[in-house]
Structure formats: C-alpha cells, structure tokens
C-alpha cells in the first residue's frame, strides 16, 4: 500500500466512526471521545452540532481524497518522464573504417545507394547500401589542392550539408558548404539519374547572398558565426537546415520554403527565401555542450546527430568527448521564443561505453517495430579517414 493512502484511510475510518457515534448519541447513549482528532460528541448536544461535526469530517475526507489523487497523478507523470528519458538508447552494432573517404561530413540514402561527402574532399562518394562497400566517386569540382588526399583547412569548401530536392521536376542531390568562411558558400547539385562517374551531371551555384543575410541575422546567431552542418527535406517539402553553435549562439533549426530556396539558388538571387528559426537546447558532456552535426527525416520525425567537442571555434577542431542522436516529431516544431523539446541519447557500444568519435551525419534505414529503428552514422576521424556506424535506436 502506498504511504500517501494511509492518512486517507484513517480519515475514512474516522468518518465512519463519527457517524456511528452520532447515531448512538440519538438513542441516549453517553458521550464519546475520539482523541486522535479531538472530536467530542455528546448525546445532550443539539443535532445541529453533530451534523456540523460530520460535515467537517466529510470535508476533511474529500480534501484528502483530492490531494491524494493529485499527488499520485504527479508521481505517475514524473515516473513516466523518467522512464521516457531512460528508455531511449542508441547502441552501435558494427563499425566499418574507410581509409579512402576523408573527413566524412554528410550522408544521404537514395534507393540502394548511399552517398557521402567530405568537408575537405572534391568528391561525392557512392556506397552500396546493402554491402556498404565503396563503389565509386563523382567529382564535384576540380582542384589541385587535393594532392595529399585532403584539401587544406584554409582552402576547403567545407561541404557539410547533403540532401535531396526536386528541381525542374527531377530529384537532385544537393551539397553545400557551412558558410563559416567566404570560400564555404558553394552549392552543388547532382542528378541521381546520371550518377556514373564519367557522365555525372554536376552544377555549381553560390549561396553567398543567402549566407550573408543569415550571418547578419542576430535572432539566429546572437553574435556567433554561421555554421550550417546539416540539411533535410520534410514530406511536405520544407527544407530544414541545422545551425551548429560555435560559441555564444544557439543550436538552431531553420525551416525554409524549399521552392523559394530553389528559385534563389538557380534563378533570381535578389529575392531571398523566407525562413523561420527554432532554437534548441542540447545536452552537455563534462561541461561542453553538444552541437548539431547531421539530420535525416524518417517516419515523420527529424532524427539528428550532435557531437561534443572541446572547442569554441567554428573552424578549429577540438577534443571529441562523445556524440548524441536525437529526434523530434515534425508536428511538434512550433514557432516560439523558447527552445524546442526533443529526445536525445548518447551513442554507446554494446557494453554501454560512450563512443568517442565525432558523428557527422546519419540515415535511418528501417523501422523494426514501434519503438526500434536501425540506421547508419558517418564519422570524421580528423585524420583523413572516416568510420561508418551501424546502430540501433530504441525510443
């Protein structure tokens, strides 16, 4: 029996007992005394007083009943929240190292092909989604700065965002830079229908005007540096961009009209696409906050990755302390000045130890049941290699 019900039952017994002595008092019995609540009933007292006492006891009982119900409801709500917070888990099932994919930063799944970009590479890498073997690469731009296998940090285009958009009625892969420097505002579109290495149709565009406007938006950056790290498109065709906090600014989600974005990208660049800003509070590790790094939309949810680095610089790397995967229902994203609610879990191995790699992006492959998903995450090892994680999410 819960402790909160004990005083309730005692008062119920008190009420029954008081009602009993009230009835016996009417038959001329002697006085009764109940010391626990200092209630005195005498046979010679007027019937009015006995009724007042009974009403008082009844009121005490009702009040206790209401308080007990509220207390039990609050306890149950807290328990449910605690169980929900503890329930979500992200477990690594397998890891694959790619020595020929440097600094992986974005990933997208189209049918049976998995596409990966690197922030210091001129190529779009193609993997078979079943075997996860590297099957080819597509040149996005030509450069002589890739001789060592990595474009130097000061010169790299920092391609971080990879998603699909419908342009002129056809599905295109779209890869674009973070905007954290003037040379990081390029955007490349690729037609999946002609993905062969020799004849892939690649077009280059500039996002300089849009990025300049975003950099000047104090509501988005609060004095921080623009640092777009992920992109995804909702089922109703909204473009989602994730701003990674560098120092004082928030982690934020930008919701953009995708048709306006495409028009700005391919045609009239004097007209900027409209957008809405949604700030987020992400968890911390050892005093360092997590920052957005990847996004993917599946099952009407925005799944995202967020890594924790010991750095306050949008360009310089820091010690990697761990990475999170989280999600939010698309329908729960609401315009407000407060931070949006979300669910997150630290990525761990099967023994429960945190994964210390910098997870940059993810895709969800399948929903196993109501609470379980399987997917892939790509990491940047900061040493010219990349690691792919096969993981399971329990929510």
Q: Can you give the pLDDT at residue 247?
A: 75
Examine the domain organization and report whether 243 and 350 are in the same domain.
yes
Q: Can you give the pLDDT at residue 83?
A: 41
Determine the Cα–Cα distance for residues 359 and 340; give it in Å rounded to an integer.
22
Examine the domain organization and report whether 105 and 202 are in the same domain.
yes
The distance of Cα 304 from the centroid of its chain, to the nearest Å, equals: 5
| Count of Cβ atoms closer than 10 Å to residue 269 Cβ | 15
Residue 60: which domain range? 3-85
Q: Can you give the pLDDT at residue 43?
A: 42
Indicate the residue among 85, 111, 138 that finishes a domain.
Answer: 85
Determine the Cα–Cα distance for residues 389 and 395; give it in Å rounded to an integer.
18
Q: Can you give the pLDDT at residue 290?
A: 94
Grade residue 354 by pLDDT with cuts at 50, 70 and 90.
Answer: very high
Question: Does the pLDDT of residue 149 top 70, yes or no?
Answer: yes
Tell me the pLDDT tens digit for each residue of 76-125: 444 444 344 458 999 999 999 999 999 999 999 999 999 999 999 999 99
Q: Can you give the pLDDT at residue 39?
A: 42
**Dihedral angle of Cα 17, 18, 23, 28, to the nearest 10 degrees:** 110
Residue 242 DSSP SS3: strand
Question: Does the pLDDT of residue 331 top 80, yes or no?
Answer: yes
Q: Can you give the pLDDT at residue 17?
A: 55
Examine the domain organization and report whether 315 and 343 are in the same domain.
yes
Q: Can you give the pLDDT at residue 2?
A: 46
What does each C-alpha distance from 197 to 100, 124, 145, 167, 355 come to in angstroms? 16, 10, 20, 21, 34
Please state the domain count of the chain: 2
Examine the domain organization and report whether 80 and 98 are in the same domain.
no
Supply the CATH number for residue 217's domain: 2.120.10
Examine the domain organization and report whether 96 and 77 are in the same domain.
no
Question: Does the pLDDT of residue 276 top 70, yes or no?
Answer: yes
**Dihedral angle of Cα 41, 44, 47, 51, to the nearest 10 degrees:** -10
Indicate the residue among 66, 85, 104 that finishes a domain.
Answer: 85
Examine the domain organization and report whether 92 and 80 are in the same domain.
no
Contact 252, 278 (CB under 8 A): yes
Q: Can you give the pLDDT at residue 87?
A: 80
Examine the domain organization and report whether 100 and 62 are in the same domain.
no
Mean pLDDT computed over every residue of the chain? 82
Grade residue 278 by pLDDT with cuts at 50, 70 and 90.
Answer: very high
Determine the Cα–Cα distance for residues 74 and 67; give it in Å rounded to an integer.
11
Examine the domain organization and report whether 74 and 137 are in the same domain.
no
Is the pTM higher than 0.75?
yes
Question: Does the pLDDT of residue 347 top 50, yes or no?
Answer: yes
Grade residue 192 by pLDDT with cuts at 50, 70 and 90.
Answer: confident
Indicate the residue among 52, 85, 118 that finishes a domain.
Answer: 85
* Beta partners for residue 165, in sequence order: 172
Question: Does the pLDDT of residue 263 top 50, yes or no?
Answer: yes
Q: Can you give the pLDDT at residue 317?
A: 61
Residue 312: half-sphere exposure toward Cβ, Cα within 13 Å: 6
Residue 207 DSSP SS3: coil
Lowest mean pLDDT among 29-43, 122-136, 314-328: 29-43
Examine the domain organization and report whether 275 and 386 are in the same domain.
yes
Tell me the pLDDT tens digit for each residue of 194-250: 555 556 789 999 999 999 999 999 889 888 899 999 999 999 999 999 999 877 788
Interval 317-322 mean pLDDT:
81
Examine the domain organization and report whether 229 and 339 are in the same domain.
yes
Examine the domain organization and report whether 329 and 345 are in the same domain.
yes
Lowest mean pLDDT among 110-114, 217-221, 311-315, 326-330: 311-315
H-type helices in the chain, by residue range? 6-26, 47-87, 208-215, 218-221, 258-266
Examine the domain organization and report whether 8 and 26 are in the same domain.
yes
Determine the Cα–Cα distance for residues 239 and 290; give it in Å rounded to an integer.
23
């Amino acid at each position: 029996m819960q402790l909160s019900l004990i005083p309730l039952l005692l008062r119920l017994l008190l009420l029954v007992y008081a009602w009993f002595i009230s009835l016996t008092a009417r038959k001329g019995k002697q006085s009764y005394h109940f010391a626990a609540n200092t209630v005195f009933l005498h046979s010679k007292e007027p019937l009015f007083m006995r009724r007042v006492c009974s009403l008082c006891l009844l009121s005490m009982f009702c009040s206790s009943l209401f308080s007990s119900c509220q207390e039990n409801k609050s306890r149950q709500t807290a328990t449910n929240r605690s169980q929900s917070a503890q329930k979500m888990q992200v477990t690594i099932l397998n890891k694959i190292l790619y020595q020929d994919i440097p600094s992986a930063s974005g990933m997208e799944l189209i049918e049976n092909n998995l596409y990966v970009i690197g922030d210091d590479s001129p190529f779009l890498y193609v993997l078979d989604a079943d075997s996860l073997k590297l099957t080819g690469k597509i040149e996005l731009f030509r450069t002589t700065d890739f001789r060592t296998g990595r474009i130097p940090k000061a010169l790299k285009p920092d391609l971080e965002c990879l998603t699909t958009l419908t342009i002129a009625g056809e599905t295109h892969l779209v890869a674009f830079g973070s905007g954290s420097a003037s040379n990081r505002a390029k955007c490349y579109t690729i037609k999946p229908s002609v993905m062969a290495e020799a004849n892939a149709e690649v077009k280059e565009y500039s996002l300089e005007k849009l990025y300049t406007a975003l950099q000047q938006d104090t509501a988005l950056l609060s004095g921080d540096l623009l640092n777009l790290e992920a992109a995804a498109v909702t089922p109703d065709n909204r473009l989602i961009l994730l701003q990674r906090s560098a120092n004082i600014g928030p982690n934020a989600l930008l919701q953009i009209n995708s048709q306006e974005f495409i028009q700005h990208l391919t045609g009239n660049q004097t007209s900027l696409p409209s957008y809405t800003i949604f700030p987020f509070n992400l968890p911390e590790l050892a005093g360092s906050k997590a920052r957005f790094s990847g996004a993917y939309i599946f099952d009407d949810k925005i799944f995202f990755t967020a890594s924790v680095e010991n750095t306050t610089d949008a360009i310089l790397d820091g010690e990697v302390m761990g990475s999170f995967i989280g999600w939010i229902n698309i329908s729960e994203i609401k315009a407000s000045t407060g931070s949006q609610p979300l669910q997150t879990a630290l990525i761990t191995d099967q023994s429960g130890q945190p994964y210390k790699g910098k997870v940059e992006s993810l895709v969800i492959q399948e929903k196993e049941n109501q609470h379980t998903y399987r997917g892939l995450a790509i990491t940047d090892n900061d040493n010219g290699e990349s690691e792919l994680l096969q993981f399971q999410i329990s929510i």
